[in-house]
Amino acid sequence: MKLIEKTMNKFIEQENEEKDGSEIFRTVQVAKVDQSNVSPPLRSAGDSAAPLVEVPAGSDELNLIPPLNFAMVDNGIFRSGFPEPVNFNFIKTLGLRSIISLCPEAYPENNMQFLKSNGIKLFQFGIKGYKCLPGLENEVWLHLWNSKHQKEGSYTNANSKTTSEPFVNIPDYKIREALKVLLDEKNHPLLIHCNRGKHRTGCLVGCMRKLQKWCLTSIFDEYQRFAAAKARVSDQRFMELFDVSSFKQIPMSFSCSSS
């Protein structure tokens, strides 16, 4: 009650002031400050914030563009699509020793010059890329492909001798040779790439994951994360049937040493 009474009295006093024509609002004068003569604030002894550094407009620091589908696979192992000249500044920051290319085409001269000038060794395991027939689901395409090529022979896989050939574009022996380079830490840091960084690169990484004792669900999830809507049943079948028994046990994760 006292609070209501006090509020009512204040309202009455304000209303009387308005009737008397007294001024309610005050005018505040603002002075314009010349900032050119203003010194920056002094930092306290405990303030460890780093000063801002102005980066020149033409600096390479602004041109660190990673290749298409770039990602880290493990310590010292990276994956991506085909590196373009615009990606060279970024690739320099990785300190690579080796590149595994899964493309069959001759390596571009610009790329070869970049590798030579940065002491990067190229390992090329040419695997021809292919595309599914447009408008067909992977399962339908795989069935038609198997039916067409069933008379031409059988796929030779260390894990299966009688499976009809759905993997002609992913030669088993080339993946094995690429894996030997990939697993040798003397070649790290290392970048794996194909054209788009999806299918061929995904198969090689998937086979490495089998060596790391990943379950198939996790291997396929990683593959599909990069292949997205273009994920292929044939690639996943290849990874599922790939026999890793001939390889020595490898660590669940590689060391990050680059010495």
**Spatial separation of the C-alpha atoms in residues 201 and 79, rounded to whole Å:** 7
- φ/ψ (deg, to 5) at 79: -140, 155
| Residue 112 vs residues 19, 82, 125, 223: alpha-carbon distances, Å | 89, 13, 16, 29
194 catalytic per annotation:
yes
Q: Which of 194, 207, 215, 256 is catalytic?
A: 194
Classified as helix, coil or strand, 71 is strand
Q: How many helices (H) and strands (E) does the chain have?
A: 8, 5
How many angstroms separate the CA atoms of 96 and 108, rounded? 18
**End-to-end CA gap in the chain:** 81
What residues act catalytically?
A: 194
